[in-house]
Amino acid sequence: MNIIAVGLNHKTAPVAIREKLAFDATKTMAALRQLKNRFSQAAEFVLLSTCNRVELYSAASTESGVTHKRLTEFLSEFHGIEPDDFRDLLYIYRDEDAVRHLLTVASGLDSMVVGEGQILGQVKESYRLACAARSTGKVLNRFFHCGFTTAKKVHTNTSIAGGRVSVAGVAVELATQLFADVSSAKVIVIGAGEMGELLVQHLLHEGCKNITVVNRSFDRGRNVADKYGIAAGKWDQLNDQLINADIAIASATVQGYLFSRDAFEQIADRRRKGSLLIIDVAVPRNIEPAVNEIENVYLYSIDELSVVAEQNRKTREADMSKGMQFVYESAAEFMDWFRARDIGPLIGQMRERFAQISQEELERFFVGPRQEASCKEVMEPMVKRIVNRLLHCVIKNVNIVAEERGPAEAARFVDSIVRQAKEISTEPDNEGNSQSKT
């Protein structure tokens, strides 16, 4: 069995590509079910899609037909995108490299904002959806739980999660750098999901006093507003809110743009205030990029937060190094289990093969006049006891090999014995054949 990870992220692909390959919960469930139908039912899949990455994890045997090329083809077909549009932006990891990658992602060490805690929740949600779609199995179950445990170790034993460690936090930090006095600004937060709530928290921390959250579900928006003592606006009044805003931060989950350039020009024409700063952290994006061409409107996408995020990364280099030590240790432990999981079935095959050889030899011996020999009832259990004792010695040596050279070498050792035993059992026994004729 092989583990494969195929994906792209903020470091390899622009948001224009990431948003085309993004999955919401409904699409994730549909994709996982299609993957199970397309490949062997024994193949396992988990799909992770966030604002900064889309990654498909699989664990499958070679016979299942799961390869990185076919997974790429699936992503292309599902979203109706030509493979050439994103193939060169993909990264492909196998086995231990794939394990290290997920553990790094879950721990927040591969995030745009190093140390962010939101990614762990997103990884857990992706795993929950895979469980609901019944697309996981023994390998990916253990794999993802290893990721959860490793993330906890990293966050517990380092200070990597301290300070401003979220996309929302970096977005607000960018706003403070671009706007002279953010505390006096009228700020509109579009979307009241997890990201929207984080934006509100960071804005309040910066001293903002005039914040309005606008959400498609007014009740959800009002709940967030009441929780933090801010205002809530109705979705159909969003245009009016933007006419009087100084800053707008968009994080709504929608398909297609909320505002095209033409639509936003009508808002800009009605404004009587100065410039409007818009930060779009949604993926897919909420605001058409061409809106940035409108006079006195300054639009920043999630990819343009990278400068602030890089400052964050440099202050956490020591913690990143320490965190990666936990990742490598946990990945090695998982791979020990992954390689060793085949030893048990192989030992079972070895037992069966040894028993088969002993039975065949007894049948070859007790033919003709010997078939009714009085010693037959005694010899059969005696031969089985001898074979079991010899097998016990072999298994002890397998354990020694596993301890000294690792599970993978032990599995190869047992596999070679099974193959040799199979060859022995199929070899013609001229001596036995000649005896049977006497």
Rg (CA), the chain: 31
Locate 141 and state its tokens. Answer: 């179950």
> In the annotation, is 51 catalytic?
yes
Query: Of 51, 146, 208, 393, which is the active-site residue?
Result: 51
3-class secondary structure, 304: helix
Kindly give the residue spans of alpha helices, DSSP state H, lying in 279-375: 306-314, 317-340, 343-365
Locate 382 and state its tokens. Answer: 């005696």
Q: How far apart are CA 364 and CA 387, in angstroms?
A: 17
Q: How far apart are CA 103 and CA 215, in angstroms?
A: 34
3-state percent breakdown (helix, strand, coil) of the chain, nearest 5 = 60, 15, 25
Q: How far apart are CA 150 and CA 348, in angstroms?
A: 33
Q: How far apart are CA 282 and CA 266, in angstroms?
A: 22
CB 283 within 8 A of CB 18: yes
- Which residues are catalytic, by number? 51
